[in-house]
Amino acid sequence: MLAAETAVENPGNVLRRRSGEVIARAGRGLSLGLLDAYPDGFEPHRHDTLSFAPDRQGDAVRLAGQPRYGARVYGRAIERPGGLTWLQYWLWYYDNPKHLLGFGKHEGDWELVQVGVAADGVPQVMTYAQHNSGEARRLGDATRRAIAAGEAWHPVVYVAPLSHASYFTARTHLYLGGSDHPRGDGPRERPPVHRFGGWAQWPGHWGNTERSITVPVVLRRVGDGPRSPALQEPKWSRPEQFHARTRRRRLRVLLGRLAHRLGALSFPRELRIGAAAIDSGGNLDVTVELGGAGPRRARHLLITVHEGDRIVARRVVENPGPATTERIPVPGAGARLQVDVSAINRLRQRSDPVSAPVRPAAGPTSSSLGGPT
């Protein structure tokens, strides 16, 4: 979750019409304020688009490390006289690489977490957005485990990699056509809450559409860049309706849990990190040893390199062999790095990640094995 300014200030990003006409560029007039007040001769249109520079994943990692653009959420409160007050937390992600059956990838992603609070200030219900719908819970004994009490109450959210769907628990979650894997193994953030500006009402799309196949009109919005938060209904103006809609998905959630238990029969085999060493040129060599056959065999490896809570590099390896070595450049990274590796099989199940410290290439790394964490 980053600052909304990343959409308008990253070099190479532009604001353009559907026809391709450029209205403004990053560093040359493009800003959040411009979305609220276009230059003379232009009027905002629902087909206007913020289009991003090509290296979205690399830019997202780089921007996350800069204080101006670091982790934050955008908050607002909707009071209902005689009812709940809805506290909404909107999260902006720079890239959404998740796709299903060839479509669904797009630039930018707005997600929502909301809490319904009673007049006495005690949270009663929560709603977490997931893809085109979400999941709702009432604050009871079970739900209290998902809320941290102390200096203040706040929701605990497990964010799915790639899709950014928000979940109450850290495990594999199934949905129609795919699965999410929020493992709870990523960076932990308690981001500050910022106010929205007038740009929250901008009618355009926060990112380009990206599809590898042609899809029917009814499905095209799945791969569109997200609309501004104020245009996402009923979330924005009718939060209680959004909550009620997600409650009806309880059966889907229960079926997903059952399917997850059955899926354990084909879960990817444990993998091992045989070595993780970096040379003086900033090149990281990672050797991964895999097991399993049939549906348990790894179809992809996901490798991430961490400096503290910050991801500084990542790689997806397709169709790895029983043992594979990858060289990943991490120029400018600090001295204390860690590499995490997980496997994804042909059924799109992700293994538990294993971790290992990164050591200098001249050090004794060949006999060091990283196990599950």
Whether pLDDT at 314 is above 90: no
At 370, is the pLDDT very low, low, confident or very high (cuts 50, 70, 90)? very low
H/E segment holding residue 256? helix 250-263
Q: What is the pLDDT of residue 373?
A: 35
Higher pLDDT pick, 99 / 44: 44
| Mean pLDDT on 211-227 | 57
- Rounded to 5 degrees, what are φ and ψ at 223? -105, 10
Whether pLDDT at 206 is above 80: yes
| Mean pLDDT on 338-352 | 83
- Listed by start position, the domains of the chain span 6-254, 267-360
Question: For all residues of the chain together, what is the average pLDDT?
Answer: 81
Higher pLDDT pick, 46 / 177: 46
- Please state, for a pLDDT cut of 90, what percent of the chain lies above it: 29
What's the order of all strands across the beta sheet hosting 22-26?
29-30, 22-26, 14-16, 49-51
Q: What is the pLDDT of residue 103?
A: 54
Q: What is the pLDDT of residue 16?
A: 92
| Mean pLDDT on 242-265 | 72
Enter the DSSP assignment of 267.
Answer: P
End-to-end Cα separation, the chain, in angstroms: 25
Q: What is the pLDDT of residue 132?
A: 76
Higher pLDDT pick, 174 / 213: 174
pLDDT winner (highest mean) among 24-28, 131-135, 208-212? 24-28
Q: What is the pLDDT of residue 96?
A: 74
Whether pLDDT at 55 is above 80: yes
| Mean pLDDT on 272-289 | 88
pLDDT winner (highest mean) among 235-239, 250-254, 283-287, 338-342? 235-239
Region for residue 319 given its phi and psi (left: phi exceeds 0; alpha: psi -120 to 50; beta: otherwise)? left
3-state secondary structure 83-130: CCEEEEEEEEEEEECCCECCEEEEEEEEEEEEEEECCCCCEEEEEEEE
The token pair at 305 is 């390199």
Task: Kindly report which listed range (29-43, 116-130, 336-350) carries the lowest average pLDDT score.
Answer: 336-350
Note the pLDDT tens digit of each residue in 97-141: 765 554 556 788 999 999 999 988 888 999 999 877 888 888 875
Nearest to 267, CA basis, from 304, 299, 297, 303: 297
- Please state, for a pLDDT cut of 70, what percent of the chain lies above it: 81
Whether pLDDT at 171 is above 80: no
- Rounded to 5 degrees, what are φ and ψ at 72? -165, 165
At 89, is the pLDDT very low, low, confident or very high (cuts 50, 70, 90)? very high
At 225, is the pLDDT very low, low, confident or very high (cuts 50, 70, 90)? confident
List of residues 6+ apart from 80 with CB closer than 8 A: 86, 240
Higher pLDDT pick, 214 / 87: 87
Nearest to 114, CA basis, from 122, 126, 124, 131: 126
| Residue ranges with strand state E in 264-361 | 272-278, 283-289, 298-307, 310-318, 323-329, 338-345, 354-357, 359-360
The token pair at 75 is 């908050």
Report the distance separating Cα 237 and Cα 45, nearest Å.
21
Report the distance separating Cα 316 and Cα 28, nearest Å.
35
Q: What is the pLDDT of residue 146?
A: 47
Enter the DSSP assignment of 28.
Answer: B
Q: What is the pLDDT of residue 281?
A: 85
Q: What is the pLDDT of residue 260?
A: 62
- The correct answer on CATH 1.10.150.120 for the domain covering 267-360 is no
Whether pLDDT at 199 is above 50: yes
